[in-house]
Structure 1
Amino acid sequence: MKIFKIALVNPGPGEILSKGRIIANADHIYPPLGICYLSAVLKEENYQVEIIDQAARGFNLYQIVRWIKKKDPDILGFSTLTASGSGISAALTSIEVKKWNPNIKIVFGNRHTNHNDYRILEKYPQVDICVRDEGEYTFLALVKALERNQPLKDIKGITYRESGKFKRNEKRPLIKDLDSIPLPDRKALKMEYTGSFGGLEFAPKGFTSMVSSRGCPYHCTFCYGKRTVGFRTRSVENIVKEILHLESEGYKYLNFVDDNFTVSKKRVIKLCRLMHKHKVDLDWICEGRVNQVSKEMLKEMKRAKCRIIFYGIESANQRILDYYRKGITPAQSIAAVKKTRKAKIPFILGSFIVGAPGETLIEIYNTLKFAQKIDIDFPVYNLLGTMPGTDIWDEMVEKNILDENKYWEEGVHISDIDPGGVPTE
């Protein structure tokens, strides 16, 4: 019986060079947990799976195609994002792979496909199928169907071609019990990662990331997370089980890459106390909202070895915060930072965004001045960008400011298209 082989690629978040090559240009690269979860689910069903992080390895187009040819898979999957440009990287790789083997099935997944499935299939005939939303069990069902040469009409959560037409099957329900998903197959990456953010290196070796929850209950206009998945959490026991496993594997640093780690004070406190009870010896970082942290929570986080907390402060201007629907105030940011200092968490990072539609030079100056004044260790500055799936994208399209056909693959900075704002330069 023929062995059915699957290869999964985290594409380089690349820039296209004059020769058409792709190179990795990410400021910070974390382990691609998405394809690690897929690998774990597939291996439970005894499939042969190979995965590679093209972004971390810095493979160009020639190198990644050579790797794929060597593995010779029946199915080739790509984890694609819009803002990083990895969707374009994956598409260019797909073109070359199909020249080599027209029979290979190429599948795109991750957030780029959620709002661009038709566009991807229309522009790139080399791509056969798009997996939407959570991919673990959708992709497993797809692999089984392709292996058995069965029709795809009953597989929830996919978009594909049939008789020259696009078919978008019904949405697959969210995975309610996150504890039921096997731990991600990090070993299959066959490489080590360092932890850095915005030029700040916090983990020279022994670094990885993990998720303790999925989704976010908030509705920020610049974020597509709320449209992708509803907020669900793993049990604290299941989280600590994975942490202890990571510790036994020699990891020293951990980044919780949840969309919002601090949603529930009760959950965070319970988790930190359980980590302390098990004498977890991993330094870790997380992202949090300034209106969610409390003295007790921060105290327990520090005791459980939280080393860095990254707050989404975003702006010094209430008008801009309200436009983003952040649900916070500058005063809450100041208070959260003060609480964090008192808890003696070593490093505080803050995110700041400029370039909102109609944002003035004075408002931008206020934010930059606020970022220098507030007692954080490291400000991270961003130009506001938008992409399909965000409320700002929809607003710009409705106002005829944004051409969807021009920007859907990579997104765009608002300052590049908004006639009423401050130009990017």
Structure 2
Amino acid sequence: MKIILLNPPHTAIGSRIPGEHLPPLGLLSVGGPLIDDGHTVCLVDADRELLTIEEMVSTILTNAPDVLMLGHSGSGSVHSTVLKICQKIKEYQPQLIIIYGGVHPTYHWDEIMLEAPAIDIIVRGEGEKTTRELVRALEVGQTLSEVAGIVFRENGRTQATPPAKVIDQLDQFRVGWELIDHKDYSYWGGKRAVVVQFSRGCPYLCSYCGQRGFWSKWRHRDPQKFAQELGRLYREEGVELINFADELPTGSRKAWKTFLEALIAEDVPLLLVGSTRAGDIVRDKDILHLYKQAGVVRFLLGIETYNETTLAHIRKGASMSEDREAIQLLRKHGIISMATYVLGFHEERDIDYWHSYRHLLSYDPDQVQLLYATPHRWTPFYESVEHRRVVQKDTTKWDYKHQVLEAENVPVWRVFMWFKTIEVLMQARPRVLYRMLFHPEARYRHAMRWYTQIGRKVWFHELFEFLFKTRIEKNGPALSALMGTAFTKREYSMASKGQRTAGTIPIMNASDH
């Protein structure tokens, strides 16, 4: 069959300002197994090419596919765009089979099937195995009820099949790197870059996370095979930077250490960036030299809040002393620390924003990223804030960079000013400027300068947008009235019995992949 994978355009600021783009890993991961099955597959990256809906429709119709698959890593905020694209395509090609996948449709499948007749099938959960079986069924005319992990219509009624089994052996499916031209994708100031996953899932219970239930449980790839793949990408494709999409790549110390050693043996000058937990950095204090030698240049750490009560409420499972020690350890080894901090977990007062600034100052991270609490309907956090008013009804702006929930004691404009002021004060600290200009390592200085340049552009863009484009709801509806009541019970709905492992990290044997 002829299949087009469409990466729809995203409205998020981060997708536009830097002028650089990373490959859509989810679609490439689905594409690899389909190519191996003999299908003709191509990627249309409308996000990178800044295609209008009309241009997307024209491109798709020109290629005349049998199947169109859509998905996006930011599937909640891009969902309304997906609906417009599908509707327009079906106006011109009603027989085209449209398949939609990602985190948002995994949980909102019943609503989507009611509101979007242009979407024929939804893939819920991980896509590699399910899309492979789905396309095989479409090709031979097999009944779709035999394909696990999908939603479809039959005789005008929505049918949902049982969840597909979680993919335990991640190496059994390959990423379809041949679907992209690597020179089209860059990050970190023009460095050829890719997004990868060493692991999937997270065992921790952060109440606001929209990812953990989607992956059901934590597992990882074969460390040595993964290192070999990264080495090949450098040698054959000129890839310079690896951006980890994992929630917790360091989850297993043994597996992560094996990967670092294998990548060091590959002897390739890659730069590695990603996110992890401060606790894992503290745990690995004796092997952080391996992080450095393998090419780790920055790790993002979720600090989230200064308030211990709030940390307990959102079930972060971290301590402030651990956060502070992790930042110090990374600095000792010449690795950049980026601290993310979230405003809006509780209804703050002005003094809370001041405490937040002082708290971040005491941590002394190299970089900071401020975010707004953004509720996902399938998470416990959503359930805890259903009563709060919404100040931004446009869901395309529910991207963590726009305030969504009202702070009862502080008007929106003042929350915004605190947000932007804290960013400036943190990034303009003399010690940060000193590191950016005089740090002994060139790659450290480059990373600091690049982030500062991007941050300056984003800062002014956000200020202009807020002043002249953003529409704030002065007496907005309660969250539950706008979006509906929580369906927290769906969070792990894709996990078969016995597959959920939240709260623990399994001990990995040498043969475990």
- On whether the aligned pair clears a TM of 0.5, the verdict is yes
Gaps of 5+ in 2: 414-513
Shift of 1:83: 5.9
Aligned residue number for residue 365 of structure 2? 376
Note closer, same or farther for the CA distance 1:186–1:26 as it changes in structure 2 (3 Å cut): farther
Residue pair 1:355, 1:422 contacting (<8 A) in 2 also:
no
Shift of 1:276: 1.2
Q: How does 1:44-123 map to 2 (within 5 A)?
A: 44-80=36-72, 85-123=77-115
Residue pair 1:80, 1:90 contacting (<8 A) in 2 also:
no
Higher relative contact order by CA 8 Å / sep ≥ 6: 1 or 2?
2
Shift of 1:358: 2.6
TM-score by length of 1: 0.89
SS in 2 for 1:295: coil
Q: 1:204 aligns with which of 178, 190, 201?
A: 190
Q: How many residues align?
A: 403
1:200-240 deviation line (CA, Å, top 9, x unaligned): xx241211121100111111111011211111111111211
Identity %: 24
SS in 2 for 1:174: coil
Gaps of 5+ in 1: 16-22, 196-201
SS in 2 for 1:134: coil
Shift of 1:88: 1.6
Shift of 1:394: 2.7
Note closer, same or farther for the CA distance 1:152–1:409 as it changes in structure 2 (3 Å cut): farther
Mapped pair 1:40 → 2:32? yes
Note closer, same or farther for the CA distance 1:416–1:307 as it changes in structure 2 (3 Å cut): closer
Aligned residue number for residue 318 of structure 1? 308
Note closer, same or farther for the CA distance 1:307–1:80 as it changes in structure 2 (3 Å cut): closer
Shift of 1:368: 2.2
Aligned residue number for residue 454 of structure 2? none
Note closer, same or farther for the CA distance 1:83–1:357 as it changes in structure 2 (3 Å cut): farther
Aligned residue number for residue 228 of structure 1? 214
Mapped pair 1:354 → 2:346? no
Aligned residue number for residue 382 of structure 2? 393
Note closer, same or farther for the CA distance 1:296–1:223 as it changes in structure 2 (3 Å cut): same
Spell out structure 1 runs of 4+ moving beyond 3 A. Answer: 23-29, 80-84, 400-403, 406-424
Aligned residue number for residue 440 of structure 2? none
Q: 1:239 aligns with which of 222, 226, 238?
A: 226
| Range with greater deviation from structure 2 (272-281 or 213-222) | 272-281
Note closer, same or farther for the CA distance 1:103–1:69 as it changes in structure 2 (3 Å cut): same
Residue pair 2:342, 2:373 contacting (<8 A) in 1 also:
yes
Q: 1:285 aligns with which of 245, 264, 273?
A: 273
Residue pair 2:4, 2:65 contacting (<8 A) in 1 also:
yes
Whichever structure has more helix as a proportion of its residues is 2
| Range with greater deviation from structure 2 (370-379 or 221-230) | 370-379
Mapped pair 1:217 → 2:235? no
Distance 1:382 1:133 in 2: 26
